[in-house]
Chain A
Amino acid sequence: EAEVAQSPRYKITEKSQAVAFWCDPISGHATLYWYRQILGQGPELLVQFQDESVVDDSQLPKDRFSAERLKGVDSTLKIQPAELGDSAMYLCASSWGRRTDTQYFGPGTRLTVL
């Protein structure tokens, strides 16, 4: 069964350092999402790609976060510099299309900022 791949699974870093997360969506899925989930809350969308284009990054803290999906396949989310409040689970999801298609999540990256 096809799955969304993410790495690393866990990341511990010190504040002010740079971190990067990688995601490879299910093959053929045009839409890719990055979410952040804080313990006890539901996932919140950070950025959405349709192929290689950003569809929505309104909730992405652009002073420190960046995301790219250069060839319209895999994607990287970067944080620089990391802050204590960035500690969370970072989830990547993908879907066939843009509208009401089901989103499938990868295993996530647990980030701890010390």
Chain B
Amino acid sequence: QKEVEQNSGPLSVPEGAIASLNCTYSDRGSQSFFWYRQYSGKSPELIMFIYSNGDKEDGRFTAQLNKASQYVSLLIRDSQPSDSATYLCAVNRSNDYKLSFGAGTTVTVRA
């Protein structure tokens, strides 16, 4: 079982719609969760982090965490063509605090 799993996509959404990205993780003791955005050929850029169960909103982005289900998601509201990128989910491992990354979900926003 992979430590962090994401649907690879591509996830295609029309401009203005909500994009919903999912991530599951295997380490029940993980406490910190991160979403990074990565444009093609570029490095990962931090979008959000979340530590507590529930929702955390930042502009058009909302991260949702459910530790009981070992599930973290990212919602992108009012999707724009500039949101077209690969989104990486990262989870701190509880035994050594290293970041485990998923393979990423590629999002394409259609104008």
Contact = CB atoms under 8 A, between A and B. Distances in A.
B97 A108 contact: no
B49 interface: yes
Contact of B42 (A40, A42, A100, A108): A108
Interface residues of B, number: 26
Given A42-B4, A107-B42, A56 B88 contact: no
Interface in B34-69: 34, 36, 41-46, 49, 51
Interface residues of A, number: 21
Contacts of B36: 105
30 contacts: A40-B8, A40-B103, A41-B104, A42-B88, A42-B90, A42-B100, A42-B102, A42-B104, A45-B98, A45-B99, A56-B96, A56-B98, A91-B43, A91-B44, A98-B97, A99-B92, A100-B31, A100-B32, A100-B51, A100-B92, A102-B46, A103-B34, A103-B46, A103-B99, A105-B36, A105-B45, A106-B43, A107-B43, A108-B43, A110-B41
Q: Which of B4, B31, B104 has the most CB of A within 10 A?
A: B104
Interface string B74-111: 00000000000000101010001111111110000000
Interface string A79-114: 000000000010100000011101111111010000
Given A89-B43, A102-B46, A108-B42, A42 B31 contact: no
Contacts of B8: 40
Interface of B: 4, 8, 31-32, 34, 36, 41-46, 49, 51, 88, 90, 92, 96-104
Across the A-B interface, give the 4 residue pairs with the lowest CB-CB distance, nearest first. Answer: A42-B101, A100-B32, A108-B43, A105-B43
Contacts of A45: 98-99
